[in-house]
Each structure stands twice: as structure tokens, then as C-alpha cells.
Amino acid sequence: MKNEEQARSLFGISLSDRPRWQQFLICSSGFFFGYLVNGICEEYVYNRLQFSYGWYFTFVQGFVYLILIYLQGFTPKQMVNPWKTYVKLSAVLMGSHGLTKGSLAFLNYPAQIMFKSTKVLPVMIMGAFIPGLRRKYPIHEYISALLLVIGLILFTLADAHTSPNFSIFGVVMIMGALIMDAFLGNFQEAIFTMNPDTTQTEMLFCSTVVGLPFLVPPMILTGELFKAWNSCSEHPYVYGVLVFEAMATFIGQVSVLSLIAIFGAATTAMITTARKAVTLLLSFLIFTKPLTEQHGTGLLLIAMGIILKMLPENKLPGGSAIAKHRKPSIKADNSLPANGGVVEEERRPLV
């Protein structure tokens, strides 16, 4: 087993020889750019054009990913992990996607927001049970995540015109999706940890190739394949929007995998959660919506959570005790942790 991290880069920008804060800034910027564009495109396609064909659009997006990966020069000969690893990964990914979509029929918008906002907590808890990781986070990171979750729920529900409506069946489905999401992020981190030669491109390529066939049955069973094909044939410009969205999301996906590989699943989950707050705040600034007291409280808690997460651990009480749980960093900066304060047990094979 190799102990050194692979020399990583993001679209030609070297990450390994940069300080930790630069790595974080570059990866986060790519993620925010990709998914902000994704949000704008989804708003246009789903709300303006009334095309709600999630399975089909994901299918088209997958082919765009494969073309972009091919243009980058990646081939299956460069793989360092067995295909069965990615079969498991893609099965969990498609299961999460399906349960999330299915739960929409049983939960209203405020209820969905409440559950989706808690993702970072199950990611941190699940990390303790994934072979090859066995993460144990310092108490201040759990407090940070909790502040972020509560703040985001308060902020997003401030605009809700109805109270959360919980259906038992919908709750079970969305909880299942959250568990799968938590397993997914930690499993991806475990793959990077157990085999440092794994690249972000390999992870995305193999997950896409294996995942595309999983999309076909739900498209056929729901009739979405034929409805979407007919609708997009009548309005071919939709494909232009989808391709543009997929290209932006590709940047976001590779950036997320870079964050997972360098900083870990829990830190990445906090960033993706904070992105929702940034998106909402931008909508308020752009469309000049009034900010209420509840919005202010939510933003304050989010800021407190982020600041607590960023505090150097040697400034916290008992810092020396926490420091011994840190994972060795990549070669770029040996003074800082790679995964946000964790303890590792003996690594075991994933497959």
C-alpha cells in the first residue's frame, strides 16, 4: 500500500504543489461555478420550458461526460481499480437518485429541504463504518456541521408558504436516499485512500459507464424515455441547453471528486451544503428580495458553522489531543491535514 498521495491536478492546474488554502479555493471555485450554472440551466429547463424529465436528462448528461473524458485522453487502460468497485458505486448512486426522485411525490418542498440540508451529518457518522476509513471526527466538527444544518434549514424555510408535510413513506424514501448519499461520499473517499493512484477522471468515467444502464429501466417503466424524446424532438434547442449544463456540471463533478480525494467526504459535504445557502443568498441579492429576521438568524448560524470548521485545531481546547488524530497530508504541505481531522484504523481492502 502506498502511503503518499498521488500528484493531483484539476483541468491542468497542479494541486499537489500548492498550499492547502489554494487547493481548497481552486476546487471549491470549480464546484461553485459548475453547480451555479447547473442551477440556472435547471431553472430554465424545468420551470420555464416545463420539461421535467430527470432520468432522460441525466442519461444525456452521462454521454456528454464520456465525450469530455475522451477528449481529455483518458482510456480504460489507465484504470487502477476493478470494474466491480464501480458497479457498487453506481448502484448506490442510482439508488440514491431514484429514492430522491420518488420521495418528491410524498413530501412537500419544506420537508424535502429539511432532509436534504442534513446530509453532512450522516456523511460524518457513516465514515466511522466504512472499511478503509473508520473516521472519528473531533467534537467541534460535529458542532460545526450541526450549526450549518440548522442555519440552512432556517434560511430556506423562511420563504416557505406552507409547513413541512411529512408522509411516512416519503420520509422512509428520503432517509434511504440520505443513507446512500452518505455511503457514496465515504466510499469514494475510501477508493482514493486505499488506492492513491485513482484519478478523478477514472472515478467519473467508470461511474458514468456503469451507471448509464441503470437509467434505462426507470425511463422505460415510467414512459419518460418516449415522452422526453418526443418533447426534445419538437424543441431541439433543449439539447443545446442540456449539453451546456452538462459541460458546466462536469467541471463541478471533477472539482467535487478533487475535494473528496484531498479533504475527505465530510468536508466536501459541508461545502456542498453551504453552496445551497450561497445560491439562495445570491437570489436575494439579484432579485432584491426582503431579508427577514429568520433569514438573518439562518445566515448567522451558517457563518458560525463555517468559521468553527475553519479554526486551526491547535487553537482549540485540547488541541494536542486532537492533533494526534490527524491524517498525514499530501506532499504539498506536511503541516496541515488532508481530511479535516480524523483518525484512521488499519486499512482493509474494499473489494
pLDDT one-digit tens code per residue, 181-199: 888 888 888 888 888 888 8
Closest alpha carbon to 314 in 138, 126, 166, 193: 138
Write down the pLDDT at residue 162. 55
262-317 pLDDT, tens digit per residue, is: 888 888 888 877 777 776 666 666 656 677 777 778 778 877 877 777 665 544 44
Q: What is the DSSP letter of 296?
A: H
215-251 pLDDT, tens digit per residue, is: 888 888 888 888 888 888 888 888 888 889 889 889 9
166-171 long-range contacts, CB within 8 A, separation 24+: 166/107, 166/111, 167/106, 167/107, 169/106, 170/103, 170/105, 170/106, 170/107, 170/111, 171/106, 171/107, 171/111, 171/115
- SS3 (DSSP) at 13: strand
- SS3 (DSSP) at 8: coil
* CA 304 – CA 51 distance, rounded (Å): 39
* CA 207 – CA 217 distance, rounded (Å): 17
Question: Has this prediction a pTM greater than 0.95?
Answer: no
The contacts of residue 184 (CB under 8 Å, 6+ apart) are 89, 92, 93, 96
Average pLDDT, the chain: 75
* CA 135 – CA 269 distance, rounded (Å): 15
- Contact criterion met (CB below 8 Å) for 125 and 142: no
Distance of CA 220 to the CA centre of its chain: 27
